[in-house]
């Protein structure tokens, strides 16, 4: 599936949840689907700056050039938001990540229902994912 197809799928899932308490519960459930994050990777180097809660993201380039991310958070809702980002951006090429318009965030109403600090954290997570993509792209161009 393309990034936009995954985003459209997420939007469709959220359209079935009209109450924001149900949406938060679903986001929390999504966070529980993240694979276990290695404890030894929970280091300051992998910690996302700008998040109120602690969020760790690592990236590894696969043999075919795609980037595989691993992520975790110590806050339930934030962990779910991370899971959404991983669902959309994990195992993509640097160009796919850098060119992605993450419209699902607005379409599901997430931005308007996050506190300012969580909203800033979301921006910081996306920025870090972009930084990884840019770094791997630069390595590819050497």
The span from the CA of 56 to the CA of 82, in Å, is 9
Helices (H), strands (E): how many in the chain? 6, 2
51 is catalytic: yes
Reduce the DSSP state of residue 69 to 3 states and report it.
strand
12: Cβ contacts below 8 Å, ≥ 6 apart: none
In the numeric block, the tokens 């910081």 are attached to 124
Selecting among 10, 51, 67, 110, the annotated active-site residue is 51
- Residues 58, 55: Cα–Cα separation, whole Å: 10
Measured between alpha carbons, how far is 39 from 75 in angstroms, rounded to an integer?
16
Active site residues: 51
């Amino acid at each position: 599936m393309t990034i936009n197809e995954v985003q459209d799928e997420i939007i469709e899932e959220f359209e079935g949840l009209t109450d924001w308490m149900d949406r938060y519960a679903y986001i929390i459930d999504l966070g529980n689907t993240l694979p276990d994050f290695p404890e030894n990777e929970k280091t300051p180097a992998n910690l996302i700056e700008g998040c109120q809660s602690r969020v760790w993201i690592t990236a590894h380039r696969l043999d075919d050039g795609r980037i595989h991310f691993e992520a975790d958070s110590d806050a339930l809702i934030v962990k779910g938001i991370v899971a959404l980002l991983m669902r959309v951006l994990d195992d993509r090429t640097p160009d796919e990540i850098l060119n992605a318009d993450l419209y699902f965030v607005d379409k599901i109403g997430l931005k308007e229902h996050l506190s300012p600090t969580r909203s800033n954290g979301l921006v910081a997570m996306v920025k870090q994912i972009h930084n990884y993509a840019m770094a791997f792209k630069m390595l590819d161009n050497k």
